Structure 1
Protein backbone atom coordinates (compact mmCIF):
# COMPACT_ATOMS: atom_id res chain seq x y z
CA UNK A 1 0.00 0.00 0.00
CA UNK A 2 2.69 2.51 1.01
CA UNK A 3 4.91 1.65 -1.97
CA UNK A 4 2.14 2.03 -4.53
CA UNK A 5 1.13 5.32 -2.93
CA UNK A 6 4.74 6.58 -3.08
CA UNK A 7 5.15 5.32 -6.66
CA UNK A 8 2.05 7.13 -7.89
CA UNK A 9 1.91 10.26 -5.74
CA UNK A 10 5.42 10.65 -4.33
CA UNK A 11 6.92 10.06 -0.92
CA UNK A 12 5.33 13.25 0.44
CA UNK A 13 1.92 11.56 0.06
CA UNK A 14 2.99 8.74 2.39
CA UNK A 15 2.26 8.99 6.09
CA UNK A 16 1.06 6.65 8.80
CA UNK A 17 -2.28 8.47 8.70
CA UNK A 18 -2.60 8.16 4.89
CA UNK A 19 -1.77 4.45 4.98
CA UNK A 20 -4.21 3.84 7.83
CA UNK A 21 -6.91 5.73 5.93
CA UNK A 22 -6.34 3.63 2.81
CA UNK A 23 -6.59 0.50 4.94
CA UNK A 24 -9.83 1.75 6.49
CA UNK A 25 -8.46 2.01 10.01
CA UNK A 26 -7.15 4.67 12.34
CA UNK A 27 -3.53 5.79 12.60
CA UNK A 28 -3.38 4.55 16.22
CA UNK A 29 -4.04 0.99 15.01
CA UNK A 30 -1.15 1.19 12.56
CA UNK A 31 1.23 2.61 15.17
CA UNK A 32 1.07 -0.78 16.92
CA UNK A 33 2.93 -2.22 13.91
CA UNK A 34 4.98 0.71 12.63
CA UNK A 35 6.41 3.13 15.19
CA UNK A 36 7.41 6.03 12.93
CA UNK A 37 7.66 7.40 9.41
CA UNK A 38 11.37 6.47 9.41
CA UNK A 39 10.50 2.87 10.24
CA UNK A 40 7.82 2.88 7.53
CA UNK A 41 10.22 4.17 4.86
CA UNK A 42 12.83 1.64 6.00
CA UNK A 43 10.30 -1.16 5.52
CA UNK A 44 9.38 0.27 2.12
CA UNK A 45 13.03 0.34 1.01
CA UNK A 46 13.47 -3.21 2.30
CA UNK A 47 10.51 -4.43 0.24
CA UNK A 48 11.79 -2.68 -2.89
CA UNK A 49 15.29 -4.09 -2.27
CA UNK A 50 13.83 -7.57 -2.67
CA UNK A 51 13.63 -6.78 -6.41
CA UNK A 52 17.39 -7.37 -6.83
CA UNK A 53 18.30 -10.65 -8.53
CA UNK A 54 21.76 -11.50 -7.27
CA UNK A 55 21.89 -14.76 -9.24
CA UNK A 56 22.95 -12.68 -12.26
CA UNK A 57 26.04 -11.35 -10.46
CA UNK A 58 28.86 -13.40 -11.92
CA UNK A 59 32.32 -12.83 -13.31
CA UNK A 60 35.02 -10.43 -12.14
CA UNK A 61 34.30 -8.11 -9.21
CA UNK A 62 33.82 -5.06 -11.45
CA UNK A 63 31.20 -6.90 -13.54
CA UNK A 64 29.33 -8.10 -10.45
CA UNK A 65 29.26 -4.61 -8.96
CA UNK A 66 28.23 -3.06 -12.28
CA UNK A 67 25.35 -5.56 -12.45
CA UNK A 68 24.28 -4.58 -8.93
CA UNK A 69 24.43 -0.89 -9.89
CA UNK A 70 22.42 -1.46 -13.10
CA UNK A 71 19.75 -3.28 -11.13
CA UNK A 72 19.72 -0.54 -8.51
CA UNK A 73 19.24 2.12 -11.17
CA UNK A 74 16.37 0.16 -12.73
CA UNK A 75 14.71 -0.35 -9.34
CA UNK A 76 15.15 3.30 -8.38
CA UNK A 77 13.73 4.48 -11.73
CA UNK A 78 10.71 2.24 -11.12
CA UNK A 79 10.33 3.62 -7.58
CA UNK A 80 11.40 7.29 -7.97
CA UNK A 81 11.12 8.04 -4.24
CA UNK A 82 13.85 5.51 -3.33
CA UNK A 83 17.00 7.48 -4.30
CA UNK A 84 16.28 10.31 -1.90
CA UNK A 85 15.53 7.92 0.98
CA UNK A 86 18.72 5.95 0.25
CA UNK A 87 20.79 9.13 0.25
CA UNK A 88 19.24 10.43 3.46
CA UNK A 89 19.45 7.43 5.73
CA UNK A 90 21.11 4.10 6.19
CA UNK A 91 18.62 1.23 6.04
CA UNK A 92 19.71 -1.99 7.74
CA UNK A 93 16.92 -4.44 7.01
CA UNK A 94 17.13 -8.03 5.70
CA UNK A 95 17.09 -7.13 1.99
CA UNK A 96 19.46 -4.20 2.51
CA UNK A 97 21.82 -6.58 4.28
CA UNK A 98 21.52 -9.02 1.34
CA UNK A 99 22.63 -6.15 -0.95
CA UNK A 100 25.60 -5.51 1.31
CA UNK A 101 26.43 -9.22 1.45
CA UNK A 102 26.38 -9.51 -2.34
CA UNK A 103 28.69 -6.52 -2.65
CA UNK A 104 31.08 -8.12 -0.17
CA UNK A 105 30.98 -11.38 -2.13
CA UNK A 106 31.95 -9.45 -5.26
CA UNK A 107 34.83 -7.79 -3.39
CA UNK A 108 35.99 -10.93 -1.56
CA UNK A 109 38.94 -11.56 -3.87
CA UNK A 110 40.16 -7.97 -4.04
CA UNK A 111 42.99 -6.48 -2.00
CA UNK A 112 40.71 -3.91 -0.36
CA UNK A 113 40.62 -3.81 3.42
CA UNK A 114 37.39 -4.33 5.36
CA UNK A 115 36.62 -0.61 5.74
CA UNK A 116 37.40 0.03 2.06
CA UNK A 117 35.02 -2.75 1.00
CA UNK A 118 32.16 -1.30 3.03
CA UNK A 119 32.94 2.20 1.79
CA UNK A 120 33.04 0.99 -1.84
CA UNK A 121 29.61 -0.62 -1.55
CA UNK A 122 28.18 2.49 0.13
CA UNK A 123 29.63 4.69 -2.62
CA UNK A 124 28.30 2.36 -5.32
CA UNK A 125 24.82 2.76 -3.86
CA UNK A 126 25.26 6.53 -3.44
CA UNK A 127 26.51 7.05 -7.00
CA UNK A 128 23.61 4.98 -8.31
CA UNK A 129 21.07 6.92 -6.24
CA UNK A 130 22.53 10.32 -7.15
CA UNK A 131 22.68 9.51 -10.87
CA UNK A 132 19.11 8.17 -10.82
CA UNK A 133 17.86 11.19 -8.88
CA UNK A 134 19.42 13.40 -11.57
CA UNK A 135 17.70 11.34 -14.30
CA UNK A 136 14.33 11.53 -12.57
CA UNK A 137 14.72 15.29 -12.16
CA UNK A 138 15.61 15.63 -15.86
CA UNK A 139 12.53 13.58 -16.82
CA UNK A 140 10.29 15.76 -14.66
CA UNK A 141 11.62 18.97 -16.20
CA UNK A 142 11.87 17.78 -19.81
CA UNK A 143 10.42 20.34 -22.15
CA UNK A 144 10.46 23.17 -19.65
CA UNK A 145 12.40 26.14 -20.86
CA UNK A 146 14.80 28.32 -18.97
CA UNK A 147 15.35 31.92 -19.98
CA UNK A 148 18.48 32.19 -22.09
CA UNK A 149 18.65 35.95 -21.62
CA UNK A 150 21.51 35.88 -19.05
CA UNK A 151 23.51 33.69 -21.44
CA UNK A 152 22.85 35.93 -24.41
CA UNK A 153 23.91 39.01 -22.46
CA UNK A 154 27.40 37.53 -22.27
CA UNK A 155 27.59 37.02 -18.50
CA UNK A 156 28.41 33.32 -18.94
CA UNK A 157 30.34 32.94 -22.22
CA UNK A 158 31.72 29.46 -21.52
CA UNK A 159 28.30 28.12 -20.64
CA UNK A 160 26.80 29.73 -23.75
CA UNK A 161 29.50 28.14 -25.90
CA UNK A 162 28.97 24.65 -24.45
CA UNK A 163 25.18 24.86 -24.63
CA UNK A 164 25.47 25.97 -28.25
CA UNK A 165 27.62 22.92 -29.08
CA UNK A 166 25.13 20.33 -27.81
CA UNK A 167 23.74 18.47 -30.80
CA UNK A 168 22.31 15.34 -29.20
CA UNK A 169 21.22 14.46 -25.69
CA UNK A 170 23.78 12.52 -23.70
CA UNK A 171 23.47 8.72 -23.66
CA UNK A 172 22.66 8.28 -19.97
CA UNK A 173 23.11 4.50 -20.02
CA UNK A 174 26.72 4.91 -21.17
CA UNK A 175 27.31 7.82 -18.80
CA UNK A 176 26.01 5.76 -15.86
CA UNK A 177 28.20 2.78 -16.66
CA UNK A 178 31.22 5.02 -17.21
CA UNK A 179 30.66 6.69 -13.82
CA UNK A 180 30.40 3.36 -12.01
CA UNK A 181 33.36 1.75 -13.79
CA UNK A 182 35.52 4.84 -13.33
CA UNK A 183 34.84 4.86 -9.58
CA UNK A 184 35.46 1.13 -9.21
CA UNK A 185 38.66 1.26 -11.24
CA UNK A 186 39.79 4.18 -9.10
CA UNK A 187 39.37 1.89 -6.10
CA UNK A 188 41.58 -0.68 -7.83
CA UNK A 189 38.78 -3.10 -8.64
CA UNK A 190 39.02 -5.18 -11.80
Structure 2
Protein backbone atom coordinates (compact mmCIF):
# COMPACT_ATOMS: atom_id res chain seq x y z
CA UNK A 1 0.00 0.00 0.00
CA UNK A 2 1.27 3.47 -0.94
CA UNK A 3 2.17 5.47 2.18
CA UNK A 4 3.32 8.68 0.50
CA UNK A 5 0.40 11.13 -0.01
CA UNK A 6 -0.44 11.76 -3.63
CA UNK A 7 0.52 15.44 -3.30
CA UNK A 8 4.10 14.48 -2.39
CA UNK A 9 4.61 12.10 -5.30
CA UNK A 10 6.15 13.23 -8.56
CA UNK A 11 4.00 12.79 -11.62
CA UNK A 12 5.24 9.95 -13.79
CA UNK A 13 6.68 11.02 -17.10
CA UNK A 14 5.64 7.87 -18.94
CA UNK A 15 7.04 6.68 -22.24
CA UNK A 16 6.32 8.01 -25.70
CA UNK A 17 4.11 11.05 -26.14
CA UNK A 18 4.29 13.74 -23.43
CA UNK A 19 1.43 13.90 -20.97
CA UNK A 20 -1.54 15.80 -22.37
CA UNK A 21 -3.40 16.36 -19.12
CA UNK A 22 -2.68 17.72 -15.67
CA UNK A 23 -3.51 16.29 -12.28
CA UNK A 24 -5.90 19.21 -11.83
CA UNK A 25 -7.80 18.24 -14.99
CA UNK A 26 -8.03 14.64 -13.84
CA UNK A 27 -9.37 15.79 -10.46
CA UNK A 28 -11.90 18.12 -12.09
CA UNK A 29 -13.16 15.33 -14.33
CA UNK A 30 -13.57 12.99 -11.35
CA UNK A 31 -15.52 15.65 -9.42
CA UNK A 32 -17.79 16.35 -12.39
CA UNK A 33 -18.49 12.64 -12.76
CA UNK A 34 -19.26 12.20 -9.04
CA UNK A 35 -21.52 15.27 -9.05
CA UNK A 36 -23.45 13.89 -12.00
CA UNK A 37 -23.62 10.16 -11.24
CA UNK A 38 -22.49 9.66 -7.65
CA UNK A 39 -19.32 8.33 -6.06
CA UNK A 40 -19.69 4.69 -7.26
CA UNK A 41 -19.33 5.95 -10.84
CA UNK A 42 -15.82 7.22 -10.18
CA UNK A 43 -13.30 4.74 -11.55
CA UNK A 44 -10.05 5.08 -13.45
CA UNK A 45 -11.82 3.90 -16.60
CA UNK A 46 -14.74 6.29 -16.32
CA UNK A 47 -12.58 9.30 -15.47
CA UNK A 48 -10.33 8.51 -18.42
CA UNK A 49 -13.42 8.36 -20.64
CA UNK A 50 -14.46 11.78 -19.34
CA UNK A 51 -11.10 13.07 -20.54
CA UNK A 52 -11.24 11.23 -23.84
CA UNK A 53 -8.26 9.02 -23.12
CA UNK A 54 -7.42 5.50 -21.97
CA UNK A 55 -7.36 4.42 -18.34
CA UNK A 56 -3.65 3.59 -18.56
CA UNK A 57 -2.83 7.24 -19.22
CA UNK A 58 -4.26 8.25 -15.82
CA UNK A 59 -1.45 6.40 -14.07
CA UNK A 60 0.84 9.26 -15.06
CA UNK A 61 -1.08 11.37 -12.55
CA UNK A 62 -2.50 9.00 -9.91
CA UNK A 63 -1.68 5.48 -8.78
CA UNK A 64 -5.19 4.36 -7.87
CA UNK A 65 -8.82 5.27 -7.33
CA UNK A 66 -7.92 6.07 -3.72
CA UNK A 67 -5.64 8.82 -5.02
CA UNK A 68 -8.54 10.21 -7.03
CA UNK A 69 -10.79 10.28 -3.97
CA UNK A 70 -8.15 12.09 -1.91
CA UNK A 71 -7.59 14.65 -4.66
CA UNK A 72 -11.33 15.22 -5.04
CA UNK A 73 -11.88 15.82 -1.32
CA UNK A 74 -9.00 18.25 -1.04
CA UNK A 75 -9.91 20.11 -4.23
CA UNK A 76 -13.40 20.85 -2.90
CA UNK A 77 -11.81 22.13 0.33
CA UNK A 78 -10.18 24.81 -1.78
CA UNK A 79 -13.62 26.41 -2.27
CA UNK A 80 -13.86 27.74 1.31
CA UNK A 81 -13.91 31.55 1.39
CA UNK A 82 -13.29 32.31 5.03
CA UNK A 83 -12.82 35.74 6.61
CA UNK A 84 -9.60 36.53 8.41
CA UNK A 85 -9.63 35.13 11.96
CA UNK A 86 -10.65 37.62 14.60
CA UNK A 87 -13.21 38.12 17.33
CA UNK A 88 -15.05 35.43 19.26
CA UNK A 89 -14.07 31.85 18.50
CA UNK A 90 -17.53 30.28 18.23
CA UNK A 91 -18.82 32.42 15.32
CA UNK A 92 -15.52 31.81 13.55
CA UNK A 93 -15.88 28.04 13.84
CA UNK A 94 -19.55 28.15 12.92
CA UNK A 95 -18.68 29.93 9.68
CA UNK A 96 -16.30 27.08 8.80
CA UNK A 97 -19.07 24.56 9.48
CA UNK A 98 -21.67 26.56 7.51
CA UNK A 99 -19.45 26.69 4.46
CA UNK A 100 -18.55 23.02 4.87
CA UNK A 101 -22.24 22.09 4.96
CA UNK A 102 -22.92 24.11 1.81
CA UNK A 103 -20.07 22.37 -0.02
CA UNK A 104 -21.29 18.94 1.10
CA UNK A 105 -24.85 19.61 -0.02
CA UNK A 106 -23.50 20.83 -3.36
CA UNK A 107 -21.31 17.75 -3.76
CA UNK A 108 -23.50 14.98 -2.35
CA UNK A 109 -20.68 12.41 -2.48
CA UNK A 110 -18.42 14.46 -0.19
CA UNK A 111 -19.89 13.59 3.26
CA UNK A 112 -19.17 9.90 2.72
CA UNK A 113 -15.51 10.61 1.96
CA UNK A 114 -15.14 12.95 4.94
CA UNK A 115 -16.59 10.27 7.22
CA UNK A 116 -14.62 7.34 5.83
CA UNK A 117 -11.25 8.75 4.75
CA UNK A 118 -8.70 10.78 6.69
CA UNK A 119 -6.77 12.36 3.83
CA UNK A 120 -5.39 15.82 4.54
CA UNK A 121 -3.95 17.63 1.55
CA UNK A 122 -2.90 21.22 0.82
CA UNK A 123 -6.36 22.80 1.04
CA UNK A 124 -7.35 20.72 4.04
CA UNK A 125 -4.16 21.80 5.79
CA UNK A 126 -5.01 25.43 5.06
CA UNK A 127 -8.42 24.85 6.65
CA UNK A 128 -6.84 23.32 9.74
CA UNK A 129 -4.50 26.30 9.97
CA UNK A 130 -7.51 28.63 9.84
CA UNK A 131 -9.30 26.77 12.63
CA UNK A 132 -6.20 26.87 14.83
CA UNK A 133 -5.85 30.59 14.12
CA UNK A 134 -9.48 31.15 15.18
CA UNK A 135 -8.68 29.28 18.40
CA UNK A 136 -5.26 30.87 18.93
CA UNK A 137 -6.38 32.81 22.03
CA UNK A 138 -8.52 29.99 23.41
CA UNK A 139 -7.12 28.44 26.62
CA UNK A 140 -7.71 24.83 25.49
CA UNK A 141 -4.63 22.74 24.86
CA UNK A 142 -3.55 21.76 21.36
CA UNK A 143 -5.04 18.29 21.67
CA UNK A 144 -8.52 19.65 22.34
CA UNK A 145 -8.23 22.12 19.48
CA UNK A 146 -7.27 19.35 17.08
CA UNK A 147 -10.13 17.28 18.47
CA UNK A 148 -12.50 20.16 17.80
CA UNK A 149 -11.36 20.31 14.16
CA UNK A 150 -11.97 16.58 13.74
CA UNK A 151 -15.38 16.79 15.42
CA UNK A 152 -16.37 19.79 13.27
CA UNK A 153 -15.57 17.87 10.10
CA UNK A 154 -17.29 14.67 11.22
CA UNK A 155 -20.40 16.34 12.62
CA UNK A 156 -20.85 18.59 9.59
CA UNK A 157 -20.57 15.58 7.28
CA UNK A 158 -23.02 13.52 9.35
CA UNK A 159 -25.62 16.29 9.46
CA UNK A 160 -25.22 17.04 5.76
CA UNK A 161 -25.63 13.35 4.96
CA UNK A 162 -28.81 13.31 7.06
CA UNK A 163 -30.17 16.20 4.99
CA UNK A 164 -29.26 14.49 1.74
CA UNK A 165 -30.91 11.26 2.87
CA UNK A 166 -34.07 13.15 3.80
CA UNK A 167 -34.22 14.63 0.33
CA UNK A 168 -33.83 11.15 -1.18
CA UNK A 169 -36.88 9.75 0.62
CA UNK A 170 -35.05 7.91 3.40
CA UNK A 171 -36.83 9.93 6.09
CA UNK A 172 -40.24 9.07 4.66
CA UNK A 173 -39.41 5.36 4.72
CA UNK A 174 -38.19 5.64 8.30
CA UNK A 175 -41.38 7.46 9.28
CA UNK A 176 -43.51 4.74 7.74
CA UNK A 177 -41.71 2.05 9.72
CA UNK A 178 -41.93 4.04 12.96
CA UNK A 179 -45.68 4.33 12.45
CA UNK A 180 -45.81 0.54 12.06
CA UNK A 181 -43.72 0.05 15.21
CA UNK A 182 -46.02 2.31 17.24
CA UNK A 183 -49.08 0.43 16.04
CA UNK A 184 -47.49 -2.89 16.97
CA UNK A 185 -47.30 -1.73 20.60
CA UNK A 186 -43.95 -3.30 21.52
CA UNK A 187 -42.03 -0.04 22.05
CA UNK A 188 -43.80 1.92 24.81
CA UNK A 189 -41.03 4.48 25.37
CA UNK A 190 -40.79 5.22 21.67
CA UNK A 191 -44.57 5.46 21.42
CA UNK A 192 -44.65 7.89 24.35
CA UNK A 193 -41.90 10.00 22.83
CA UNK A 194 -43.62 10.26 19.46
CA UNK A 195 -47.26 10.54 20.53
CA UNK A 196 -47.13 12.35 23.88
CA UNK A 197 -46.34 16.05 24.14
CA UNK A 198 -46.17 18.03 20.90
CA UNK A 199 -42.83 17.36 19.25
CA UNK A 200 -40.31 20.17 19.53
CA UNK A 201 -38.93 21.13 16.12
CA UNK A 202 -35.57 19.59 15.37
CA UNK A 203 -32.67 21.89 16.24
CA UNK A 204 -31.08 23.77 13.38
CA UNK A 205 -27.68 22.83 12.00
CA UNK A 206 -26.05 25.77 13.76
CA UNK A 207 -27.75 25.01 17.09
CA UNK A 208 -26.48 21.44 17.05
CA UNK A 209 -22.95 22.37 16.05
CA UNK A 210 -22.83 25.19 18.61
CA UNK A 211 -23.86 22.93 21.49
CA UNK A 212 -21.24 20.34 20.56
CA UNK A 213 -18.46 22.91 20.20
CA UNK A 214 -19.41 24.58 23.48
CA UNK A 215 -19.28 21.16 25.11
CA UNK A 216 -15.79 20.61 23.78
CA UNK A 217 -14.36 24.08 24.17
CA UNK A 218 -16.77 26.02 26.37
CA UNK A 219 -15.09 28.28 28.88
What is the TM-score when the length of structure 2 is the normalising length? 0.78
Match for residue 145 of structure 2 among 117, 121, 140: 117
Counterparts in 2 of 1:114 and 1:2: CA distance versus 1, 3 Å: same
- Cα distance, 1:130–1:25 mapped onto 2, change above 3 Å: same
Matched, 1:146 2:176: yes
Asked whether 1:99 is paired with 2:130, we answer: no
Distance in 2 between residues matched to 1:152 and 1:164, nearest whole Å? 11
| Deviations 1:35-88, CA, capped at 9 Å, x for gaps | 111110111111111110112654211110010001101110101111110111
Tell me whether 1:64 sits opposite 2:92 in the alignment: yes
Which residue of 1 is the match for residue 48 of structure 2? 20
Maintained 8 Å contact 1:77/1:136: yes
- Greater RCO (Cα-Cα under 8 Å, separation 6 or more): 1
- Give the C-alpha shift of residue 116 in structure 1: 1.4
Matched residues in 2 for 1:118 and 1:66: separation?
16
Q: Is the 1:46–1:94 Cα contact (8 Å) retained in structure 2? A: yes
* CA displacement at 1:129 relative to structure 2: 0.7
Q: Distance in 2 between matches of 1:50 and 1:91?
A: 14
Measure, in 1, the Cα distance between the counterparts of 2:142 and 2:160. 27
Q: Radius of gyration: which is bigger?
A: 2
- Structure 1 counterpart of 2:188: 157
Q: Work out the CA distance in 2 between the residues paired with 1:150 and 1:114.
A: 46
Aligned equivalents of 1:122, 1:100: Cα separation in 2: 9
> Contact conserved, 1:65 with 1:106, CA < 8 A, in 2?
yes
Cα deviation, 1:82-123, whole Å, max 9, x if unaligned, reads 111011111221110111011000110011111111111111
Instruction: Name the count of aligned residue pairs.
Output: 188
Pairwise CA distance, 1:138: 1.2
The 1:20/1:168 distance shift into structure 2, 3 A limit, reads farther
Name which of structure 1's ranges 58-67 and 144-153 shifts more when overlaid on structure 2: 144-153
1:136–1:170 Cα change, 3 Å: farther
Separation of aligned partners in 1, 2:87 and 2:165: 33
Choose 32-41 or 179-188, whichever is displaced more: 179-188
**Residues 12-48 of structure 1 deviation map (CA, whole Å, 9 limit, x = unaligned):** 0111110001211111101111111111011111111
- How much is the aligned-residue C-alpha RMSD, in angstroms? 2.1
Matched-pair contact (CA < 8 Å) for 2:166–2:172? no
Q: Specify which structure has the higher proportion of helix.
A: 1
CA distance in 2, matches of 1:169, 1:112: 33
37-46 or 150-159: which moved more? Answer: 150-159
